[in-house]
Amino acid sequence: MRGYSIARLRSDRNLLGPLLQTFIFSELVKAAGWTRERVSIFHYRDKDQVGVDFVLENATGQIVGIELKPAASVTRRDFVGLERIAAAAGKSFVQGVLLYDGDQTLSFGEHLTAAPFPTLWA
């Protein structure tokens, strides 16, 4: 079996993306297991193939979208999927978070935030 170093994973985003997605999913499932509120985790993809990696929905129908981007910077275009699910969910949409490999939390409008990966555990 071929091993991958952290440096190689950071330099080859094609390797990092699927690994990161699996890791974040397992963290979300663990967190959902200890929360008092029932939370379901879904994936969203529309007819145009625009998607959101994780959609969390509580028992009252409130929705949070989480998108992953294994890059050190983000732009407005990176929020297309979160904007689509916000439009589809309407008032049920509470927050869209784009987790990325940067070091700043940035606002991209009402209910849309880019945050470093470690904020998942903050």
Query: What CATH number belongs to 6-121?
Result: 3.40.1350
**Confidence check: pLDDT of 2 > 60:** no
Residue 11 has pLDDT above 70, yes or no: no
Rounded to an integer, what distance in angstroms lies between the CA atom of residue 99 and that of residue 116? 5
Q: Quick one: pLDDT at residue 55?
A: 97
Q: Dump pLDDT digits (tens) for 86-110.
A: 999 999 999 999 999 999 999 999 9
Q: Are 96 and 64 in contact (CB under 8 A)?
A: yes
Element (H, E) at 89: helix 80-89
**In the chain, where are the structural domains located?**
6-121
Kindly state the percentage of the chain with pLDDT values over 90. 62
Residues in the chain: 122
Q: What is the pLDDT of residues 18-53, one digit of tens each?
A: 888 888 899 899 888 888 889 999 999 999 999 999
List the beta bridge partners of residue 36.
none
Residue with tokens 């927050």: 95
